[in-house]
Amino acid sequence: MRTINHDDLAALTIGATVLGTGGGGDPYIGRLMAEAAVAAHGPITMLAVDELPQEGLVIPAAMIGAPTVIVEKIPNGSEMRKALAALERLLDRKTVAIMSIEAGGLNSIVPLALAAELGLPLVDADSMGRAFPEVQMTSFTIHGVSATPMVLVDDKGNSVTIETINNKWTEALARVATVQMGGSALAAPYPVTTAQVRQAAIRGTMSLAIEIGHIVGTPGQGADERIRRLLERMRGAVLFRGKIRDVLRRTTGGFTRGTATMEGHGPDSGSILRVEFQNENLLAVRDGRPVAMVPDLISVLDQETIRPITTESLTYGQRVVVVTTPCHEVWRTPRGLEIAGPRYFGYEFDYVPFQEGGVA
């Protein structure tokens, strides 16, 4: 058990955005929400998975939609509370803890705001170990846990309750509802028991995000040293150093999709890196050859500050360092790759872990 203080909250915002591989929504919005909730209601207690009660309901909190929409259409602040209350009424159970559905920018911070507002503990876990663009892409799905009943609430007060035959259908119907709600909504999916959290959640994600954030934000330490420490902690590698020369980005079907093209400098001079994304960074292609791919993490960092850059914030002229780190082992299983491997996203090749140097 630990209390998340102001410094931890700032670090978690940065670290979760590194883990979020470009997705999860603008972290600044989430941090403001969490800081306001803590100021009004007091500090947040974070519990390890094994510290949860033997029985009880755990509700993940998340935002669903296109990050390009979320950055302009911010929540009104009451949506998540309404979604949780609706689930409690439907299930006739009280919530004992809040958790994050993914490690990623805004979506790692929204649960903190809700936990502070309701006086509930936050679970030190998530269901991805990173961020993914679709609802069914969770460790809960791999373990056969249903994403529904799921409640969506928008900024206008509309709510939709979804019950589906499988989690892929949850994604399809929730995405349509989200588009009609203006491209973004707050969601309470995967109402799980504490036993299911112990069985299926990816443990320690929030603590890891805080640790990463403190590394990135270390005062008085050079950028190269912070990158070295970051990659040592995450067992990662630098893919590319360069400047963004072009970004093609569109908002469609409730997602932000596009490609960022970068020209190398220093040891990478003369090379071109292309990063393709669907909310999150999915594929890095250097000089026509894939060198990192989903479900491994691909993060774009500002060269000077080492702060992560989300896909909706990529712009021409930014000088960046692109890094890759291994995904949680659950995503390298046959079922994990079926749900979130490169072929699922339409790429005509099999997954190759980044340690093996990409696809020959």
Q: For the residues 82-93, what does the mean pLDDT come to? A: 96
Tokens representing residue 170 in the block:
């949850």
Percentage of residues of the chain with pLDDT beyond 90: 82
Is pLDDT at 14 greater than 70 in this prediction? yes
Split at pLDDT 50, 70, 90, the class of 358 is very low
CA-to-CA distance for 276 and 156, rounded, in angstroms? 33
The CATH code for residues 2-205 is: 3.40.1610.10
Q: Give the integer Cα–Cα distance in Å for 64 and 187.
A: 7
pLDDT at 356: 52
Give the pLDDT mean for 60-86.
88
pLDDT of residue 359 exceeding 70: no
Summarize pLDDT for 132-182 with one digit per residue, the tens: 999 999 999 999 999 999 999 999 999 999 999 999 999 999 999 999 999
Mean pLDDT of 233-241: 95
Spatial contact of 301 and 331, defined as CB atoms under 8 Å apart: no
- Rounded CA-CA distance 126/108 in Å is 9
What is the 3-state secondary structure of the chain?
CEEECHHHHHHHHHHHHHHCCCCCCCHHHHHHHHHHHHHHHCCEEEECHHHCCCCCEEEEEEEEECHHHHCCCCCCCCHHHHHHHHHHHHHCCCEEEEEECCCCHHHHHHHHHHHHHHCCCEECEECCCCCCCCCCCCHHHHCCCCCCCEEEECCCCCEEEECCCCHHHHHHHHHHHHHHCCCEEEEECCCEEHHHHHHHCEECHHHHHHHHHHHHCCCCCCHHHHHHHHHHHHCCEEEEEEEEEEEEEEEECCEEEEEEEEEECHHHCCCEEEEEEECEEEEEEECCEEEEECCCEEEEEECCCCCECCHHHCCCCCEEEEEEECCCHHHHCHHHHHHHCCCCCCCCCCCCCHHHCCCC
Homologous superfamily, domain 221-356: CV3147-like (2.40.390.10)
Other CB atoms closer than 10 Å to residue 337's CB: what's the count? 17
Decide which of 105 and 101 is more confident.
Answer: 101
At residue 226, the pLDDT reads 95
Residue 360 pLDDT = 34
Contact of 299 with 281, CB cutoff 8 Å: yes
Tell me what the mean pLDDT of segment 104-126 comes to: 92
Residue 186 scores a pLDDT above 80 = yes
pLDDT tens for each residue of 303-353: 999 999 999 999 999 999 999 999 999 999 999 999 999 999 999 999 999
- How far apart CA 36 and CA 41 sit, in angstroms, is 9
pLDDT of residue 357: 44
pLDDT-above-70 percentage for the chain:
98
Q: Where are the domains of the chain?
A: 2-205, 221-356
pLDDT band for 6, please (50, 70, 90 cuts).
confident
pTM summary value: 0.94
Average pLDDT, the chain: 93
Q: Per mean pLDDT, which range of 9-18, 20-29, 80-89, 202-211 is the poorest?
A: 20-29
- The per-residue pLDDT for 219 is 82
